[in-house]
Amino acid sequence: MPLTKDVIKFGTFVVTNQVFHVTRLSFAIVNLKPLLPGHVLVSPRRIVPRFNDLSAAEVQDLFLTVQRVSRMVERVFSASSLNIAIQDGVDAGQSVPHVHAHIIPRKRDDLEEKGGTDAIYGMMESEDADLSKQLADKEKAAKAHLAGEEKKGRFPAVDNDSRKPRTDQEMQEEAEWLAEEMLFRVSKFVSNEALSVLYGLNTYNFTVHGQTMWPKSLRSPFVFGPLGHPDRLPLLRNLRRIHIEVVPDINSHWAVKRQRSRLEYLVEILKEYADDSDQKSLLEDLKVDFQLTSQKPAQSACGKTVRGIINSCVPKDTEKFMFGLESLAYLRGIKDVEVTGLPEWYTKCLQLSIQGRGGGVEKIDWPLAESRRRAKWNSTQWKKYLVSARKWHQPTLNWKEFAERNEITTPADMEDLYAADG
d(Cα 367, Cα 318) in Å, to the nearest integer? 25
d(Cα 367, Cα 388) in Å, to the nearest integer? 6
Strand partners, 368: 388
Q: Read off φ and ψ for residue 64, nearest 5 degrees.
A: -65, -40
In 3D space, the residue among 277, 182, 198 whose CA is nearest the CA of residue 238 turns out to be 198
- The annotation status of 94 as a binding-site residue, yes or no, is yes
- The annotation status of 211 as a binding-site residue, yes or no, is no
Q: Is 100 considered catalytic here? A: yes
- The annotation status of 95 as a binding-site residue, yes or no, is yes
Report cis status (omega within 30 of 0) of the bond before 215: yes
Strand partners, 373: 383
SS3 call for 273:
helix
d(Cα 70, Cα 79) in Å, to the nearest integer? 10
Among 21, 39, 100, 209, the one annotated catalytic: 100
Q: How far is CA 166 from CA 32, 68, 135, 150, 169, in A?
A: 6, 25, 11, 11, 8
**DSSP one-letter code for 130:** -
- The annotation status of 102 as a binding-site residue, yes or no, is yes
Q: How far is CA 57 from CA 61, 66, 309, in A?
A: 6, 14, 52
- The answer to whether residues 79 and 73 touch, using CB atoms and an 8 Å cutoff, is yes
- The annotation status of 78 as a binding-site residue, yes or no, is no
Write the single-letter amino acid at 271: K
- The annotation status of 355 as a binding-site residue, yes or no, is no
d(Cα 304, Cα 379) in Å, to the nearest integer? 35
Q: Read off φ and ψ for residue 267, nearest 5 degrees.
A: -65, -40
* Annotated binding-site ranges for substrate: 31, 87, 93-96, 102
Numbered residues of the known binding site: 31, 87, 93-96, 102
> Mind telling me the catalytic residues?
100
